[in-house]
Structure formats: structure tokens, C-alpha cells
Chains A and B, each alone.
Chain A
Amino acid sequence: MAKITLKNLKHSYLPFPTEDSHYSLKKMSLDWADGGAYALLGPSGCGKTTLLNLISGLLIPTEGSILFDGRDVSRATPEERNIAQVFQFPVIYDTMTVYDNLAFPLRNRGVAEVEIDKRVHEIAGMLDLTKTLKNRASGLTADGKQKISLGRGLVRSDVNVIMFDEPLTVIDPHLKWKLRSKLKELHQRTRRTMIYVTHDQTEALTFADQVVVMKDGEIVQTGTPIELFERPMHTFVGHFIGSPGMNVLPCEVKAGKAIFAGQNIATVNAKSYKGKSQKLELGVRPEFVSFAKKGIPVDIVKVADAGRFRIVETRNGTSSIKLLVPEGEDIPSGKTHLSFDATHTQVYENGWMVGGRT
């Protein structure tokens, strides 16, 4: 296992990139500690797969370098980098047994059969595959096959990093819960460095200790799931993480106070605003909005039942404000008022949290 460092990494698919827009991956630097669980989260086209392919060696970076434990591997082949990768669709040998599939990466590397047997049984035990070891892989269900792919990723103890590229996308929701928690459990047991790429916030937040949120080839924020939820540094992070995403409302800031709908709104950071008269917005998650006797006047537009809570959509002028109401609690009808939790309401300038960037 290794510590991974990206240093001023840039990548363009064009042969002679000259301007910023030519780069699929803009300048990127970060450190991933040995043994950590990391996620790369972002929409399609944000550059996360490009980054993954640069780390695995399928692509050579246009600029900058990739270091494993301080050693530059930017131009090393995938084999030399010694990594394991699990893909969206199960990659297994249908004609082999489950045992032989799990043993394959070890046999390829010339590991002794005694050692192979030990490793295969250990991994099979963790993944509840022990009983099916002698079965042919072709007869398995989609999640059974994906479990083998996970097992093959985990079976070698000498890899620098294990990378997962949307590994649960094709799995049914019920089984997704099982496999997802299994993967997290495996990380906690084995403490391998793992990088998990996904567009699904639930998968990223529940798996990783640190999540890297990407947009348009750039890192927008890196943080723990709690940091990303409670302090989104950019309105994009607020929107992308959370379901529904953060409410983003037009506002003004005067004398260190945020004003929305003609009312003073208490916030975390309005005081730090230095007054550049750029686009100003207020961000507050639906989880931190509640009904109140007085406050922001709104009309209730729609109530959607999500089971354990309801998503209530309200409107003030042209602004839509959503809030979550737990199952069983009353929802007023027609006109009402809202209040925002001051400790979780932030001001954003041109998308970025005021006073947030250092």
C-alpha cells in the first residue's frame, strides 16, 4: 500500500493544448494517505475517470506528476504501478470456478499455491463466497459476479492501491446496501488504500473518509462527508451533495448582514463579506429550514412523501425553498413562514462561500 501524491497534474486529450479549455483535467494537487478510503465524486464529464486512468497508468499526464510513496510513477506502465481495479461491469472468467477466478491475479504473479489457497479462502470468507468456491462463475447472479470482481481486487496483498470505478451501478438497490457495507467493512479490516469513483453521493459519502468533489476538470472541495454536508464551500457542492440539494437564494449583504426577501437573515459568514458587489447568494440545506410563526413568508407549493420524511416545496416570490419534515409531523397548508438555522446558513459570492477559501 502506498501514499499517493498528485503534483500540479494536468491532462488534455489534445496533442498541443494552449488554453485552459483544452484541458479535461485542470491543475490538480493532492495527497492521499496510505490506507485511507477516498471517493472521487462528480457528474458525467467532470474528469473523474480521466483522473482514475492517469493514476492507473492507462493515460500519461500532459503535465505534472504522480507519486507513489514519493516515487514518480507518472510514466510507469500499469503493471509497474501494481494496482488493482474493479469496474462497473463484472470482469470475470465465466468458464472458471469462483475459486479459480479469485486465484487468477495471484497465479499471474507466480504466487505459490499454498499461499494462494490461504488468500482465496480468506477473501471468500469476507465476501461470503466460501460455499460457492467450487461453482462455475457463469451461473451466478449480477451481484454474485460483482462480488468476485471485488474479491479479485482485494486478493493481492501487495498492491499499491485498489480503485473502484462505479462498481455498484448495475446492482439492485437491496443488494447495493449489502455490497456497499461489505466494501466498507473490508476496508476497515484490511486498511488498503482505496479510491472509489462515483456520481452517486450516497455511495461516496458512506464509503469514504475523504471525498473529492469534482466539476469541469477541477476539484471544487475535498472534505469529510460531514464537512461537505455542513459546510459546502461552493453552491455546486451544496446542490450536488444532499437529496434534495441545498436551497440557493439570491441575497444582498449590507453592513455585515444578509438580506433575503426584505428580511435580515442570520448567517455564519456575512460578516466576512468584503463588498465586491459580485453575485451574492444564500445557501441553506432543506434539513436546516423549519416552519415558524414569523420569518420568511412563503406559499406551500408541493408536498412529496419520501417515506420517513416529506419534501415540502415552498415559494417566496420567484424563489423556491425546500424543507424536510419528518413522518408524522404536521404541515401547515397555504401560507406560512420559514426560519433558517443560523449556524447552517452561508453566504456565497460568485458561487464560492464567503471567507471559505484560504
Chain B
Amino acid sequence: MALELKDISQRVGADIHIHDTSVTFENGSFNVLLGTTLAGKTTLMQLIAGIQKPTSGEIWFKGKNITKLPVQKRNVSVVYQQFINYPNFTVYDNIASPLRVAGMDAAEIDVRVNKAADLLRLTTMLQRKPSELSGGQQQRTAIARAMVKDSDIILLDEPLANLDYKLREELREELPKLFAGRDAIVVYATTEPSEALLFGGNTATMHEGRITQFGPTAGVYRKPSNLISAQVFSEPPMNTAKITKRGTEIVIFNSIKWPAGRAEKTLPDGDYTIGIRPHNIATEGHGKAVGAIKGRVLVTELSGSESIIHCDIDGQTWISQSHGIHPFDVGETAKLFVDIDQSLFFGTNNEFIA
């Protein structure tokens, strides 16, 4: 029993918005669609909701083909990035609106609205109009409305993007708790890797209209099946370079030699792309499998507890993110140390090797 997308695609004229995609979301699961703007997240959600129809393929829900079922009959709730509420309704009436449409009796509505308001800390706001609320409270109202009816599918399209940083942090912590223990399928779209990580659940990395990988979030992050998934799921951006592995050595930037580390055994000799997350490049080297490299500092960002050093290495920009304060000057040569055992290796077709 689940939501299944079977080989669906979406074309608009000559443009392909979604390439042939198959994916299954289980009941009671929290699923993140992670990708940049225009990766296809919103289109995929609209196909699930029934707001758009796929050009080809089928959508099945609980064993039934719902491809042709209109949005009104799909029992879906959607929360958008823009706060959408009825401006002339109170918070109470906003939350109650889908239940009234469904013809529920007033006593049951009251119970449900109060419960949703309690979960989303809106109890003292129920008699206010949306214009009297902060942005965070307005979005909480929209989320409460999405939750109040027992939707089978809840779609959240970058719901925190327009909120203040700290509010985002708060709601990010609350959201999974709200859906825990429910049977609904939650699909959450975001451009931020950190958000996907903190939600846990499952993540689908998306790129140019394709799902490049889908699975439990920590697994997709630590074992990306291809270079694109790794890049989509890395913030700051992943550092990459072509390398040649020969025996106990890795040759990078044509002539620099590094120890192969664990790759000595797991990687056959040959040409690869190495992917190094910025936090695996430090300003000092420890342990055995460390690769040293020099870069010309473009800029150093100090966040109070961490240093983010942007370097030019052989015409490429690499980023190191390390604990502590390491104030390098612009133009200075920085010596950096790469934790090779934490690096990822991809083959000539960008597939994950080790």
C-alpha cells in the first residue's frame, strides 16, 4: 500500500520537465525532494497532486490507478512557499475550512482545529486574522490547515523558504514530530541539503528533471550512487578533481601524489573523479591517509566557530570548512590536508565506485 509513480514523464512542447521517473513512497513515510531551482521538484509534486497530468506513465495509490483522478478526488493537502490563507477568515476558520467543505459536524471540527492549533502553537491566535500574524504564524496556519483533514498525501513545497533563519530552525524541528505516527505520505521539497539531513526519512536527489537517487537520507548522503547525487547533496559544494590511482598512490592535478588510503584495496588502478566534502579538508593533517595540497586563498570566511577557506587550485575553486579560526589573507598560499579515507571515488561514467 503506497504511492507509486510508474515511468511518468512530463513534457511541455519540446521541453522535458520530468524524464521517465519511477519511485514508490510508502505510507507513513517522510520523503524529501532535494534539488536546485528548476530540478523538477514542483512539477513532480503537481503530478502527485493531480494539478498536472503526466505526458506518459501511471500513478497508483493503494493499488489503484489514479492517473486520471482529478485533484479534488485525491485527498491531498498542499503547502506552498508563499503563505496562502484566506485573508478575511480568522485563523480558526482558516484551519476549519477544509473540514467545513467536507461537511463535518461542528463539534468534531472544533476538536480537530483545537488539536492542530495546539500542535502548531496557534491556540492564542485563533481569533486573529492572518494579517495580524507574523510570517511564521501565517505559515503555521497553512500547515495546520493541511494537517487537519486526514489527507492521504501531504505535499510541502519549500514551506520554510520565506521564513527567518531562526523560525526555519524551529519549524524544521517541529515538522517531523507533527507527522510522526500518521499514515499519511509526506513529500517535502527543498533546495537545502542541511534540511534534508535533519529531517531524516528518505531523500530523492533531483537534477534536471530526473531523480538521480532515492533511499534513506543518511544512506544517500554517505553513499551517493553517482557524482550528481553527491553534488546535489553537499553544502558547501563538493570539491572534485580528476585523479589516477596507481597501486598505493593517487595522482591528482597531474603531478601531486597522495597516499591511496583505503582506496588502495577498494579501487582498481585507473582514472577516476574524486569527490571531497569541504569538511574533510582541514588546515592541519592527522592520521595516515592525508593528502597535502597548496592553494591560493581567494577569500576566508570566519563564522565565529569555523573557517571557510575558498582557494584556487590549478584554476579550480576548492572549499575547506574547518573547526576553529584560521584567518588566511587574500592571495596567501594555504596548505590544506585532505582526509582521503572520507573521500568518494567515481568512475568515468560518474558512477560511485568506492
Contacts and interface: CB of A to CB of B under 8 A. Distances in A.
Interface of A: 43-45, 142, 172-174, 177, 180-181, 184-185, 188-189, 199-202, 205-207, 225-226, 228-230, 239-245, 287, 304-308, 311
Interface stretch (B69-77, B143-151, B297-305): B297-305
Given A180-B301, A243-B165, A304-B197, 9 more contacts: A172-B36, A174-B235, A181-B299, A185-B298, A207-B301, A229-B303, A305-B221, A306-B198, A307-B279
B247 interface: no
A307 B304 contact: no
Interface in B224-239: 235-237
Nearest to A309: B279
B197 A305 contact: yes
Contacts of A245: 166, 169
B100 to A, nearest CB: 31
A50 to B, nearest CB: 16
Given A226-B302, A226-B325, A306-B194, A172 B37 contact: yes
A264 B231 CA distance: 47
Given A181-B298, A185-B330, A307-B193, A44 B308 contact: no
Contact of A173 (B169, B193, B200, B279): B193
B135 interface: yes
Contacts of A45: 134
Interface string B201-217: 00000000000000001
Contact of B191 (A172, A200, A239, A304): A172
A304 B200 contact: yes
Contacts of B321: 308
A164 to B, nearest CB: 16
Contact of A305 (B164, B218, B237, B330): B218
Interface in B275-303: 277, 279, 298-299, 301-303
Residue of A177, A201, A243, A245 with most partner-chain B CB within 10 A: A177
Contact of A226 (B36, B198, B301, B304): B304
B310 interface: yes
B136 to A, nearest CB: 9
Residue of B37, B135, B299, B325 with most partner-chain A CB within 10 A: B299
B79 to A, nearest CB: 19
Given A45-B134, A199-B164, A306-B197, A174 B36 contact: yes
Contacts of B198: 304-306, 311
Contact of B305 (A207, A229, A305, A307): A229
Given A45-B134, A287-B305, A189 B330 contact: yes
Given A45-B134, A174-B235, A304-B200, A230 B194 contact: no
A228 B310 CA distance: 23
A81 B36 CA distance: 39
Contact of B299 (A188, A226, A307): A188
Contacts of B304: 205, 225-226, 228-230, 241-242
Contacts of A242: 304-305
B192 interface: yes
Contacts of B279: 307-308
B309 to A, nearest CB: 10
A243 B169 CA distance: 8
Contact of B303 (A142, A205, A240, A311): A205
A308 B197 CA distance: 10
A225 B200 contact: no
18 contacts: A44-B164, A173-B235, A174-B235, A181-B298, A185-B298, A202-B303, A205-B301, A206-B302, A206-B303, A206-B308, A241-B304, A242-B304, A242-B305, A304-B197, A306-B197, A307-B221, A307-B279, A308-B277
Contact of B301 (A181, A239, A287, A307): A181
A184 B235 contact: no
A177 B317 CA distance: 12
A177 B237 contact: yes
B48 interface: no
A43 B197 contact: no
B142 interface: no
Contacts of A225: 302-304
A216 to B, nearest CB: 13
A201 B165 contact: yes
Given A306-B198, A308-B279, A200 B165 contact: yes
